[in-house]
Amino acid sequence: MSKAIELIVAGYVKVKNRRALSDLLAHRRKMLTDLQAITGIDPQNTLERVRQEIAVIETGLDELKPPLGSLPENDWG
């Protein structure tokens, strides 16, 4: 995995930009879906990299979750 996505996520976490992380996650999930639909080439290496990036983004979002009980469950997400 590239260090770039780790730095981007760390920056968003530092400034508490949950929306940017959510947008980045949506983009990577769409990339994953698009890559899975590709025929004619073997995108396995790229698929694995995107999955790793999704995991990093999800970890960043988890870091920004408010403590349990501080918000009603439906206010987060």
32, two tokens: 């994953």
In angstroms, the CA 49 to CA 70 distance is 35
Residues 73 and 71: their CA atoms lie apart, in Å, by 6
Nearest CA-CA partner of 61 in 21, 26, 27, 32: 21
Mean pLDDT of 4-31: 97
The per-residue pLDDT for range 24-70, each reduced to its tens digit, is: 999 999 999 999 999 999 999 999 999 999 999 999 999 998 877 77
Distance CA 54, CA 49 (A): 9
